[in-house]
Amino acid sequence: MLSTAFLLQSATALIALFSNVRAAPTLNHLNDRAVTFDFNGDKVRGVNLGGWFVLEPWITPSIFQEWADNKQVVDEYTYTKTLGKEEASSRLTKHWKTWITENDFKTIKQAGLNHVRIPIGYWALSPLAGDPYVQGQLPILDQAIQWARSAGLKVLLDLHGAPGSQNGFDNSGRYGAIQWQQGDTVSQTVKALSDLSRRYAGDGDVVTSVELLNEPLGSSLDLNGLKSFYDKGYNAVKAASNNFAVVIEDAFQDFSTYWNGYGSGKADLILDTHQYQIFTPELVGKSPSDHVSAACALGPKLASTNKWTIVGEWTGAQTDCAKWLNGLGTGARYDGTFTGKGGSSYTGKCDGKNVGTVAKLSSDDKSNIRSYIEAQLDAYEQHTGWFFWTWKTESAPEWNMKDLIAGGLFPQPLNSRQHPGQCG
C-alpha cells in the first residue's frame, strides 16, 4: 500500500513537471522577423532583475538569515538541499510571486528604461537527476514576459547558472568548485539554452536576446572550449528563432581585444562585459574621482569593439560594503574585514552602506554615487548600452536602482546631469 507521504511527493513532482510545460511554438523560419530592437540605432537602457529566479544571499539576506551563524546554507543549491523539495518549493514559490511584480515593470518603464535582463538557472529549464533544486519558475517567467509586453519593455533572457557551476560564485546557484566543462555539463547547458529559446520563440516581439552563460570564469576554464560552447549555444538559440540576438560574455578577458576575432559570420551577436570597481583591494581603494576616471576610460574601449557590446552589469557602489556581497558571513575589503582570497586593507567605514537605505547615506556618499553613475552612463552609451545591477535589494543601498531613483541619485530623466562633462 502506498503511503500518504509517497502520494504527496508524487503529486508535488507531477505539479512541478506540468508547470514547466508550455505549448511548443511552431518553428518556421520563413516567417521569422528580424531582431525587434535596433541595436545599431537605439541604446539599450536596462536593469537586471537580480535575486528573483536565482538566489543571492546579499540581495535577499532575510531568506538566508537563519543560517547566518553556521554557514550551512550559502547558495540556492544548499538552500534547497537543506530544506528539502517540499519546504523549499513552498518558500521559493512565495518569493517568486512577490519579489518582482507587474508594478515593478511599470515603474521600470516610467524610469525611461527599455529593457530588463532576467537571470534564470539551468535547473528551472532542464533539471538534472539528483539535483536538490526545485522548479516552478517558468510559469512566473511566462507572466513576466507578458508584463514586459504590456509595459512596453524588451527582455534579455540570461542563463545565469550552468551545471557544475561556471564560476564557483553563489550567483551560479552553487558556491565552490568549478566543475562546468566536466562530463556532460556543456551539452546539458546547450540543452537548457535550447529549451529556453524554444519556449519563448513566439515572443520575439518582447524577447530581443538570449545570453548563453553569465560570467564564466575564464581563468579557470578552457577558453577554446568556451568558444566551442558559444558556437553550439549560438546555433541552439538561432535554431529556435532568428528573432533573437545572441549574447556572449567576455569571461573576464579584455573585451576590447580578446573577443574581436570571434564571431565572424554570426549575425546578431552581442558581447557582454561586467564592470565592477570593487572586487580587489586595489580597485576598492580608489578615490571617488579615480572611480569616475576609470569609468570614463571605458567609453572609447567599448566603442572600439567590432560587435555590439553592452555592459550587462554595473553598479553605483564604490565599495563592497553590502552585507554578504562577498558571500554569506563574509566581510568587506573596504573596511578591512574581508579575509578571503586577495585579503583586504582598511579604506573606510561601511556605516550606512552595509545595510540601510539611500535616504540614510551620508551627503558625501550621495554625491559620489550620483557622480559615478553619471560617468558610467556617459561611458557605456558610447556603444550599445547597459543594464544596471540590480533593480532592488532588501538592504544594499548602493545597488538598489529603485531606491537610487527615488533618492535622486540615479538621473531622471536619464540624460539629466548634475556633474556634466566628466568624460570630456
**Distance between CA atoms of 170 and 166, rounded to whole angstroms?**
11
What local confidence, expressed as pLDDT, does residue 2 receive?
43
What local confidence, expressed as pLDDT, does residue 22 receive?
57
- Please write the tens of the pLDDT for every residue from 114-156: 999 999 999 999 999 999 999 999 999 999 999 999 999 999 9
Cα 412-414-420 angle, rounded to 5 deg:
100
Non-local (6+) Cβ contacts of 267 within 8 A are none
Give the number of C-alpha atoms closer than 13 A to the C-alpha of residue 247, restricted to the C-beta side: 30
Q: With 50 as the cut, is the pLDDT of residue 5 above it?
A: no
Q: With 80 as the cut, is the pLDDT of residue 186 above it?
A: yes
Non-local (6+) Cβ contacts of 381 within 8 A are 43
11 phi/psi in degrees, rounded to 5? -65, -40
SS3 of the chain: the string is CCCHHHHHHHHHHHHHHHHCCCCCCCCCHHHCCCCCCCCCCCCEEEEECCCCCCCCCCCCHHHHHHHCCCCCCCCHHHHHHHHCHHHHHHHHHHHHHHCCCHHHHHHHHHCCCCEEEEEEEHHHHCCCCCCCCCCCHHHHHHHHHHHHHHHCCEEEEEEEECCCCCCCCHHHCCCCCCCCCCCCHHHHHHHHHHHHHHHCHHHCCCEEEEECCCCCCHHHCCHHHHHHHHHHHHHHHHHHCCCCEEEEECCCCCCCCCCCCCCCCCCCEEEEEECCCCCCHHHHCCCHHHHHHHHHHHHHHHHCCCCEEEEEECCCCCCCCCCCCCCCCCCCCCECCCCCCCCCCECCCCCCCCCCCHHHCCHHHHHHHHHHHHHHHHHHCCCCEEEECCCCCCCCHHHCHHHHHHCCCCCCCCCCCCCCCCCC
What local confidence, expressed as pLDDT, does residue 139 receive?
98
What mean pLDDT is reported for the chain?
Answer: 93
Q: With 50 as the cut, is the pLDDT of residue 351 above it?
A: yes
Q: How confident is the model at residue 356 (pLDDT cuts 50, 70, 90)?
A: very high
- Please write the tens of the pLDDT for every residue from 316-339: 999 999 999 999 999 999 999 999
Q: Which residue in 56, 76, 215, 398 is the catalytic one? A: 215
Q: With 70 as the cut, is the pLDDT of residue 10 above it?
A: no
- Please write the tens of the pLDDT for every residue from 72-109: 999 999 999 999 999 999 999 999 999 999 999 999 99
Residue 313 annotated among the catalytic residues of the structure: yes
What local confidence, expressed as pLDDT, does residue 312 receive?
98
What local confidence, expressed as pLDDT, does residue 342 receive?
93
What local confidence, expressed as pLDDT, does residue 24 receive?
42
Q: Which of 396, 378, 389 is closest to 292 using CA atoms?
A: 378
Q: How confident is the model at residue 34 (pLDDT cuts 50, 70, 90)?
A: confident
Tell me the average pLDDT across 50-54: 98
- Cell match 561556471: residue? 166
Residue 374 annotated among the catalytic residues of the structure: no
What local confidence, expressed as pLDDT, does residue 11 receive?
45
Q: How confident is the model at residue 361 (pLDDT cuts 50, 70, 90)?
A: very high
Q: How confident is the model at residue 21 (pLDDT cuts 50, 70, 90)?
A: low
What local confidence, expressed as pLDDT, does residue 7 receive?
39
What local confidence, expressed as pLDDT, does residue 23 receive?
46
Q: With 90 as the cut, is the pLDDT of residue 51 above it?
A: yes
Q: With 50 as the cut, is the pLDDT of residue 14 above it?
A: no
Q: With 70 as the cut, is the pLDDT of residue 9 above it?
A: no
Percent of the chain predicted with pLDDT > 70 = 92
Q: Which residue has the higher pLDDT, 291 or 25?
A: 291
Q: How confident is the model at residue 52 (pLDDT cuts 50, 70, 90)?
A: very high
What local confidence, expressed as pLDDT, does residue 6 receive?
39
Q: With 60 as the cut, is the pLDDT of residue 60 above it?
A: yes
- Please write the tens of the pLDDT for every residue from 265-307: 999 999 999 999 999 999 999 999 999 999 999 999 999 999 9
Exposure letters 241-268 (e unless 16+ CB within 10 A, then b): bbbbbbbbbbbbeebbeebeebbeeeeb
Q: Which residue in 56, 76, 313, 381 is the catalytic one? A: 313
What local confidence, expressed as pLDDT, does residue 20 receive?
54
Q: How confident is the model at residue 29 (pLDDT cuts 50, 70, 90)?
A: very low
Q: How confident is the model at residue 13 (pLDDT cuts 50, 70, 90)?
A: very low
